[in-house]
Amino acid sequence: MAVRETDHSGNRISGEETRTARRRAVGAGSPLGLRANRIEAECRAKGLRLTGQRRLIAQVLSEALDHPDAFDLHRRVAMLAPHVSLATVYRTMKRFEREGIVKRLEFRGGHARYETAAKRHHDHLIDLETGQVVEFRNAEIERLQEAVARELGYRLVGHRLELYGVPVPAKERSEEDL
């Protein structure tokens, strides 16, 4: 899954391919045989019917290294089973989201993208040059969000935090005169 947990500070969780253009391919290591995955287990646990389409969509999303949108998912699924419709992808994502199996993301640009909900909570930094999305965690920010909501008289039930940045070339990183 290429989940790099490398940063010494514990902020960086993962990187991924770009998403700017619609040019990704299905992960090469995905034979037609359906492997069990966490999403299938969750379907069973929540009483969702385990249809062939759902199995495929679950597998494709489980194996995704990026944050695909419905169109991406459909394209990848269609490589395994061409008859699956885009409507089914949308319906499945909606259902999965309602069951807490996937998370719907809405970065700038309008259309929704999805990720499995099983991972630990994290937020996203979007590389504006490549479209790459980097996941990160920051406990202090989380704490402050709770505090802000409480001060305003609310109980925090959700949040959305996205950072948009441009990469700093390595040579500039030491000079702090930016």
Partner DNA sequence: ATAGGTGCAAAACCTTTGCTGCAGC
Partner DNA sequence: GCTGCAGCAAAGGTTTTGCACCTAT
3 forms part of the interface with its own copies (CB under 8 A): no
Tell which residue, 30, 23, 17, has the closest CA to residue 80. 30
* Residue partners of 158: CB distance under 8 A and separation at least 6: none
Do 39 and 101 contact (CB within 8 A), yes or no? Answer: yes
**Residue from 62, 113, 127, 133 in contact with its own copies (CB under 8 A):** 127
Binders of DNA among residues 53 to 112 (CB under 7 A) are 53-54, 69-71, 81, 83-88, 90-95, 110-112
**What DSSP element (H or E) covers 57?**
helix 52-63
Q: Which of 158, 171, 174, 175 binds its own copies (CB under 8 A)?
A: 158
Question: Count of CB atoms within 10 A of residue 70's CB?
Answer: 18
Q: Name residue 53's amino acid.
A: Q
> Residues interacting with its own copies, by CB under 8 A?
7, 9, 11-12, 106, 108, 110, 125, 127-128, 134, 136, 138, 140-141, 144-145, 148-168, 170, 173, 178
> Residues interacting with DNA, by CB under 7 A?
44, 48-54, 69-71, 81, 83-88, 90-95, 110-112
